[in-house]
Structure 1
Amino acid sequence: MSDWLKLLLLGLLSIVFGVIVLAAPVVASVAITVLTGILLLISGGLQAIGGFTVEGALNKVLGIVMGLIMLFLGWSFLAHPLEGTLTLATVVMILFAAGGIARIILSFQMRDTQFFWPMLISGALSLLLAGYILANAGAGLALSLLGILLGIEMLFNGFGLVFASLFMRSASR
């Protein structure tokens, strides 16, 4: 099987899964939270065990404490997946707001360049998106946010792979 065909199939698969995720974003959001909880448990356990092997008392204590915090977060996400989903959605909202504010500040440093308006608009849109998430958190948006973002990313990734495969096919001819 040629490389371009593999990319095409992977892209189409990503598009199909993106549509499935967008059809059930709350289920996908909870699945993301459960997966995050599992990964936090694994990495927290490894971090705590690794804390015993490092040199220096402070490094040892910090390693063990960080591992225990990660274990607690992982357990919390698995024991309470809906609350964990809301927590992760809040983190995403905060990251959107922080990124938007940073881009707005950066845009004013580019005031005399052609990049001022695109950077300002990008920052403002991120800030507006964070505000929209905050305003609609009670309407269930927070529960479906992670699933919606994952579905959109899977669609974009799938279309990107399809276009890359078609480019590879035309370039090989």
Structure 2
Amino acid sequence: MINWKTWVGLGALTFLFGVLALGNAVIASLAITILLGTLFAITGAAQLWAGFSAEAGGHRIFSLLWGLISLMIGVSFIANPVEGTLSLTMVVMAFLMASGVIRLVMSWQMRQTRFFWAMLLSGAVTVLLAGYIFANFAAVSLSLLGILLGIELLVNGAGLVGFGLFLRSHRS
């Protein structure tokens, strides 16, 4: 098992990266877009290679088509990271809206239970967040992904530090 100090160190480093991401959320957003573009390009190239290597048939055409689309998305994100960040922000906004609406519908299904209000509040806040992003798209679009990454890194870092301290206090 890894030493508790390793977990605390990883947590502190992750927390620091979260602070840095929040310190310049636009740069973090662009870095996310370029990284995602690189992953799409690698996946697309691998999918194209698999499509050319496969036996003839429907799977080959699907593999080639999907590989070409993935490669094009990847190259587009790498070549135009600002536009890619805007696209990713729209996707995040759409997912938030869909998730919130689904939770609102689920809350209505749960209206006879004690969990109704929690689900209703969760859905409403998520829909309002998506609405806020939509209403202020020009102001938040380039920094949203970096802010979300920064928050995730802060929370993850705190969790890793907590886990390391837990391990220290429960050593055998």
| TM-score, with structure 1 as normaliser | 0.95
Deviation at residue 102 of structure 1 after TM alignment = 0.8
Q: Which residue of 2 aligns with 1:61?
A: 61
Q: Which residue of 1 aligns with 2:128?
A: 128
- What's the % identity of the aligned pairs? 51
Deviation at residue 109 of structure 1 after TM alignment = 1.3
Deviation at residue 54 of structure 1 after TM alignment = 3.1
Deviation at residue 17 of structure 1 after TM alignment = 0.7
Secondary structure at 2:111 match in 1? coil
Secondary structure at 2:113 match in 1? coil
What is the distance in 1 between the residues matched to 2:144 and 2:128? 15
What is the distance in 2 between the residues matched to 1:27 and 1:43? 24
What is the distance in 2 between the residues matched to 1:54 and 1:129? 45
Unaligned runs of 5+ in 2: none
Q: Which residue of 2 aligns with 1:163?
A: 162
Q: Alpha-carbon deviations, 1:58-77, whole Å to 9, x = none?
A: 11111000000001101111
Displaced runs of 4 or more, over 4 A:
none
| TM-score, with structure 2 as normaliser | 0.96
Is 1:99–2:111 an aligned residue pair? no
Deviation at residue 2 of structure 1 after TM alignment = 5.8
| Cα pair distance change 1:116/1:45, threshold 3 Å | same
Q: Alpha-carbon deviations, 1:112-169, whole Å to 9, x = none?
A: 1111111111111111110111111112x11000000000000000111111111111
Give the alignment's Cα RMSD to 1 decimal: 1.4
What is the distance in 2 between the residues matched to 1:149 and 1:3? 30
Secondary structure at 1:113 match in 2? coil
Amino acid at match of 1:5: K
1:81-100 paired onto structure 2 within 5 Å: 81-100=81-100
Q: Which residue of 1 aligns with 2:47?
A: 47
Q: Which residue of 2 aligns with 1:37?
A: 37
What is the distance in 1 between the residues matched to 2:123 and 2:39? 31
Q: Alpha-carbon deviations, 1:36-61, whole Å to 9, x = none?
A: 11111100000011112334521111
Q: Which residue of 2 aligns with 1:23?
A: 23
Secondary structure at 1:172 match in 2? coil
What is the distance in 2 between the residues matched to 1:92 and 1:13? 26
